[in-house]
């Protein structure tokens, strides 16, 4: 059984009378965990609650077994946090800011300076490290935030919308950096984003939130392994009897407009589909093999939450 | 410094003690303060008054120097309680001006740039943050107030006869306690204003305003209602009363000493409450 990184035990957070997180229960143990959800789903609030910024109204959560109600200082000693919004210490060069943050995390001044240089080189700000952070572009500020989050060598890294406001090349670079950090050492990371591609490219587990509730939890690795390959067809013509005929052949079908998803049993071949289509006077204009993407999982979770 | 690793690696070294981490903030802040030539010059100027006082004390005990300057000891001011109270009052004024320059930017800069989450996501509490920011001022103001005054007291003690100390021993503790009360009040006031007013210049002006406007308002209350109650909101008058009481100097008490202590405690409590409401990683919209 892998070590649990985060355990949510009926966690409820309220802002005044307004419930923001509603009785979250989950146990997350992946190396890279994605927090997905539409804006206002509670992703950032969950990270803030785990950092002790918002006290739980009910329930609790544990980070590496440390309770957020009682052991928040220990938790903060283990984590690094890259906030979502623009934040920096004014009037300081990046190297001084990152060094200050390392010292506040408990590193001795000499170690802090050495690691600040390393962290800034690591994120690609080596040449600009003596410039004041307020003179940085948005992309550079994001990288400086990442540098201060990793400078003290945390065991768990919270990344809140790390690709916010980045252009496509900068976004790719940021995601590559996150993957590099994930693959070096035994660091775990929690990536919060509303961008499915970001989570899909970096994470093994995903927790989908909506309206302060968990609407889906999925282990992407297992999902990818278990996910059956299916055919996606675009069909024209016919009177619906084609779908019935395909189902009678033993296929699992799902029709959405003109798109038909079909899982073929091993005994059948694609030519059988074409034969039935010809018999029913149905045109198959497109046929491709597919697997469920994170987008499919996400949309399904959203639909299920609305239906439920 | 050579950088030989360009990939992420965990930290395996020793950690500094948690209790000492608030002292990191003043170290960084002082470097910034003394990077300003104007502020450094003002800080140096703060020591001219104690230097003059030290010369007077020295002259009192050096007949040869007095002869050389054609002066007699009677022409010099007496070294007694009033002398030290005057020196402390002057140093207290310098301390206040220094606070006006340094204090307002301490928290407002972090708030204006959303810097607080960066501090508070570490094993570093809000109380330690405020303590660290207060230490910035406490360190500077100590160098301007009680340290030079206490050194003057020790100089006089070492040069004077034992009778002088037995008569004036109270000056030492009065300097220490009086200075710390002043440091506490103006530090908390400037930090509270810094936390609520994001613009540094406005916060500095407001700090001046708190002293002068409340003094004027207090005087207006006194003259309209023919009372002395207006002095309770005059911070200058409050600290003067407390210092006079600590030094044992007879003073026409405009404010009863218990009211002065209570008012100063109330001001400190109010500032702490303002700081507690403002110094948070994130504002919560309820």
Is A55 within 8 Å of chain B by CB?
no
Q: With cut-offs at 50, 70 and 90, classify the pLDDT of residue A129.
A: very high
Distance, in Å, from the CA atom of A123 to the CA atom of B8, rounded to the nearest integer, reads 9
**Is A86 within 8 Å of B113 when comparing Cβ atoms?**
yes
In the predicted structure, residue B126 carries a pLDDT above the cut 80: yes
Query: What is the chain A residue with the closest CA to B8?
Result: A181
CB B73 within 8 A of CB B52: no
Taking only the tens place, the pLDDT of each residue in A164-199 is 888 888 899 899 999 988 887 789 999 998 888 889
Q: Which residues are registered as beta bridge partners of A107?
A: B15
Is residue B258 included in any domain, yes or no? yes
Domains assigned to chain A: 6-224 (3.40.50.300), 228-290 (3.30.70.100)
Are the Cβ atoms of B7 and A16 closer than 8 angstroms?
no
DSSP 3-state assignment of B107? helix
Question: Taking CB atoms and an 8 Å limit, are A76 and B123 in contact across chains?
Answer: yes
Q: Between chains, do A186 and B10 touch, taking CB under 8 Å as contact?
A: yes
Interface contacts A/B by beta carbons within 8 Å: 130
Confirm whether B221 is domain-assigned.
yes
DSSP character for A67? E
Distance CA A236, CA B223 (A): 94
Residue B141: inside a domain, yes or no? Answer: yes
Tell me, yes or no, whether B164 lies in a domain.
yes
Give backbone dihedrals phi and psi of B119, rounded to 5 degrees, phi first.
-75, -45
Nearest residue on chain B to A147, alpha-carbon basis:
B8
Compare all CA atoms of chain B with the CA of A120 and give the residue at the minimum distance. Answer: B6
Q: Convert the pLDDT of each residue in B41-65 to its tens digit.
A: 999 999 999 999 999 999 988 888 8
Which chain B residues are within 8 Å of A103, Cβ to Cβ? 16, 21, 24
Residue B1 lies in a domain: no
* CA dist., res. B210 & res. B195, Å (int): 15
B5 inside domain: no
Instruction: Report whether B73 contacts B66 (CB < 8 A).
Output: yes
Instruction: Give how far Cα B128 sits from Cα of A138, B18, B103, B125, Å.
Output: 30, 10, 17, 5
Give me the pLDDT at residue B285, please.
66
Inter-chain CB proximity A104 and B21 less than 8 Å: yes
Q: Is residue B24 part of a domain?
A: no
Confidence band, pLDDT 50/70/90 cuts, at residue B2: low
ipTM for this prediction: 0.88
Query: If residue B12 lies in a helix (H) or strand (E), which one and from where to where?
Result: none
Most confident of A67-71, A166-170, A280-284: A67-71
Whether the full predicted model's pTM is greater than 0.90, yes or no, is no
Structural domain that includes position B149: 47-278
Give contacts of A107 with chain B, Cβ < 8 Å: 11, 13, 15-16
pLDDT band at B67 (very low <50, low <70, confident <90, very high): confident
Neighbours of A305 (CB within 10 A): 16
- Chain A, 239 to 278: residues with Cβ < 8 Å from chain B are none
Q: Are B30 and B136 in contact (CB under 8 A)?
A: yes
Neighboring chain B residues of A76 at a CB cutoff of 8 Å: 121-124
Domains in chain B: how many in total?
1
Burial class (CB in 10 A: 0-12, 13-18, 19+), B282: middle
Highest mean pLDDT among A48-52, A161-165, A196-200: A48-52
With CB atoms and an 8 Å threshold, state whether B8 touches A81. Answer: no
pLDDT value at residue A218: 84
Q: Is residue B128 part of a domain?
A: yes
The per-residue pLDDT for A98 is 97
Q: For residues A82-98, give the mean pLDDT.
A: 93
Residue recorded with tokens 């003094």: B215
Residues found in chain A? 308
- Is A126 touching B (CB cutoff 8 A)? yes
């Amino acid at each position: 059984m892998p070590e649990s990184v985060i355990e949510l035990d009926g966690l409820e957070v309220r802002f005044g009378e307004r419930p923001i997180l509603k009785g979250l229960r989950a146990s997350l143990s992946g190396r890279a965990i994605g927090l997905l959800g539409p804006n206002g789903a509670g992703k950032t609030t969950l990270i803030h609650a785990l950092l002790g910024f918002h006290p739980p109204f009910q329930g609790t959560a544990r980070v590496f077994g440390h309770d957020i109600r009682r052991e928040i200082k220990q938790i903060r000693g283990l984590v690094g946090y890259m906030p979502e919004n623009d934040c920096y210490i004014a009037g300081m060069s990046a190297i001084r800011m990152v060094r200050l943050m390392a010292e506040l995390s408990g590193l001795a001044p000499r170690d802090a300076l050495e690691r600040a240089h390393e962290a800034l080189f690591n994120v690609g700000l080596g040449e600009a490290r003596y410039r004041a952070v307020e003179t940085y572009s948005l992309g550079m500020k994001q990288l400086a935030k990442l540098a201060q989050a990793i400078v003290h060598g945390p065991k768990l890294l919270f990344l809140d919308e790390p690709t916010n406001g980045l252009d496509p090349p900068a976004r790719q670079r940021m995601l590559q950096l996150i993957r590099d950090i994930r693959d070096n050492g035994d660091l775990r990371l929690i990536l919060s984003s509303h961008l499915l591609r970001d989570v899909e490219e970096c994470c093994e587990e995903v927790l989908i939130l909506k309206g302060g509730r968990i609407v889906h939890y999925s282990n992407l690795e297992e999902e990818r392994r278990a996910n059956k390959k299916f055919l996606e067809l675009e069909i024209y013509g016919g009177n619906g009897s084609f779908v019935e005929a395909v189902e009678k052949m033993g296929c699992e079908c799902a029709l959405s407009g003109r798109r038909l998803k079909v899982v073929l049993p091993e005994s059948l071949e694609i030519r059988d589909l074409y034969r039935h289509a010809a018999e029913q006077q149905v045109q198959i204009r497109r046929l491709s093999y597919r697997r469920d993407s994170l987008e499919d999982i996400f949309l399904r979770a959203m639909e299920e939450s609305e239906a439920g | 410094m050579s950088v030989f690793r360009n990939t992420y690696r965990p930290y395996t070294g020793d950690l500094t003690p948690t209790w000492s981490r608030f002292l990191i903030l003043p170290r960084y802040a002082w470097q910034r303060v003394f990077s300003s030539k104007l502020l450094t010059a003002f800080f140096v100027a703060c020591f001219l008054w104690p230097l003059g006082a030290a010369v007077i004390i020295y002259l009192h005990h050096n007949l040869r120097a007095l002869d050389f300057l054609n002066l007699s000891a009677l022409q010099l001011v007496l070294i007694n309680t009033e002398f030290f109270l005057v020196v402390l009052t002057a140093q207290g004024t310098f301390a206040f001006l220094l606070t006006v320059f340094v204090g307002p930017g301490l928290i407002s800069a972090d708030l204006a740039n959303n810097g607080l989450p960066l501090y508070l996501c570490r094993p570093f509490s809000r109380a330690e943050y405020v303590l660290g920011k207060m230490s910035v001022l406490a360190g500077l103001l100590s160098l301007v107030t009680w340290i030079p005054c206490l050194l003057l007291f020790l100089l006089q003690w070492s040069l004077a006869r034992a009778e002088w100390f037995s008569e004036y021993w109270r000056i030492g503790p009065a300097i220490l306690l009086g200075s710390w009360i002043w440091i506490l009040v103006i530090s908390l006031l400037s930090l509270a204003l810094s936390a609520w007013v994001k613009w540094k210049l406005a916060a500095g002006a407001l700090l001046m305003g708190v002293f002068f406007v409340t003094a004027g308002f207090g005087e207006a209350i006194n003259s309209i209602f023919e009372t002395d109650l207006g002095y309770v909101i005059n911070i200058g008058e409050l600290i003067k009363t407390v210092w006079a009481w600590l030094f044992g100097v007879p003073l026409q008490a405009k404010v009863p000493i218990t009211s002065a202590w209570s008012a100063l405690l109330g001001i400190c409590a109010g500032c702490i409450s303002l700081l507690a409401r403002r110094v948070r990683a994130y504002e919560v919209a309820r």
